[in-house]
A and B are shown apart, each in its own frame.
Chain A
Amino acid sequence: MNKKNNHAEAEVTEEVQLIHEKPSIGKVLSRFSRLGALLILCIGISLLNQNFLKTTNLINVFRQAAPQIIISLGMTIVFLTGGIDLSLGSVVTLTSVVSGYVLTQTNLPWWCAIIAAVGAGALSGFVTGQLIAIIKLPPAVASYGMLWVGRGLAFAIMGASPFFSFPDTFRYLGRGYFLGIPMPIWIVAIIALILGWFLKYTTLGRSLYAIGANPHAARASGIKLSKTLVSAYILSGMLAAIGGIILAARLNAVDQDMGASFLLPAIASPVMGGTSMAGGQGGVAGTIIGSLIMLVVTNGMNLLGINSLWQQLVTGIVVVLSVWLDVIMRKRN
């Protein structure tokens, strides 16, 4: 595997640096297992179909992956605290509906739509966080309730007819190019860098890991548990909102179902990328790789002309196998 992927090593070291813990050979290997899986997948697909490795297709994969990566990063933050946010899919729906509402039903400029959407995401995350921190509901339960509230609000705001036809300035976020690279990829890159820095160097970022790894120790060391928890959910809500905005901008329309399909990949991607659902472990780079694995599989199947009816079957198997691989690597270490 080492020799095969020479060119990947530069990336690997970068990946490792982004991670919170100090790199050790075991950890590099375990990280490598995921990147290796991704690369083997890529090599396999490109052997079967030459179109895969073309720059345009790779950019296409990345651009498609953008909303999913951002939403998965939101989930990663929550996973770090040992929680889970089942409402992220419906937050995506809600926030894109809110931005659609501002864009088409009011005369406010386009950036107001973004502020409104991110605000709605933050608010939803705030409520989820409060339910977990103050009422002490289990995260799965609290966010599950919020899933229905968010979905319900999206339906109620929209009535029964989807919003569409947004101004070009707004759509630029989804389909424009800057320096020859699509905007969604820029947004992912910026968010990944900021988030990577945030998790590694800021007090709040570190305390997210701390309360996930051992809440009692974290409290003893002076971390405010509930405040940290709430901010984790606010952050994840805001990230989901950004995902929703990109989605709405790419699609030039919003409907009441558009976010639902993101929940499951958003859960699977961080886990595939090595973020532990138990908390305290994982990071930005892994989640990006996890998301890419899932997207490359879908893209590859489309390029290979596999009947879309069978695609979910393949995705299911890939999710199980790659998480299994991760479990094995973790045990080895």
Chain B
Amino acid sequence: MKTLIINLVRRISVPVVIFCLLLGTILTGCAQVATPPQSQQPADVKPIQSTALPVVAGIPRFKIATTTSLYDTGLWNYLEPMFEKKANVRLDIVYAGTGVALEYGKRGDVDAVVVHDPEAEAQFIADGYGINKRSFAFNHFLIAGPAADPAGIKGLSPEQAFKKIYEGGMADPSKVKFISRGDNSGTHSKEKLIWQAAGYKYAADVEKSGPWYVETGKGMGPCLLMANEQQAYLLADISTFLAYKGKVSVVPLVEQGALFLNVYDVMAINPDKITTAKMLPTANAFINWLMSDEVQDIIATYGVAEYGRSLFNPLKGGGCSEPGCPKLEDYTVPVK
């Protein structure tokens, strides 16, 4: 068996190995003489990639799961190297919908979660998985749709708009369609909440009620592209919508409404519940850092240069005054 393997490696793998080594050497050599990319604006700043190797001796890896909409805007690319330097850790950011992000937390695969679904978060904490929850940013959802607005929702409240879309879709699905994330993300939760407020039972009345209601199971970006292709309505967070502005022809039709409030929270994983979670001090430092003036100031301006307005609003400074906004201590009192 031993000679089998030795012979195998010699006879069959040799060309492959030689080639890989060769190519690796060539490319690495090239990478070393490469000029670093020019930095234009904050969002595009790419941290210097110190190494492509997986293991960096001595520096612990701190893993977080973050909601997709936050990740897609590029904000984390900007914040990541700052925290790595400050806390002397490698910050590994995994992105997923809120439902999946919380699942990663429950399984102990990450040390902290950044999500935006108040109800699911409350359950997560009640089950003992999450501790030290704080809020650090907010923005709003909006309902976008074709500029022709076949359901006639422009200027309505979110609940009224959903009602119109439902009625229009049921009457003629070829004219009125609605694209749903359908992935238990924070955005999906928010959508269900609005359906409920509009007087529908989501599972019974809306889901599978007809071809007008399209469940994609995809992220916000792909949903926007689909809505664009099908000229459909959808609920989107404003940051992703702005990132896609110019790529899609759907326009914001409903932007005002108490239900649209979208608060981003951060939590540590409870080491008492998940015994493998060993990074609580780092998680706490991370939570406190997100509430710090340094990060809050960045949030206040992030995206202005590119989109003409900030993608997220900082909580510090009393920016959030609507019903549903977090209490003062939820974004000011440091965790321990």
Q: Do A and B assemble together? A: no
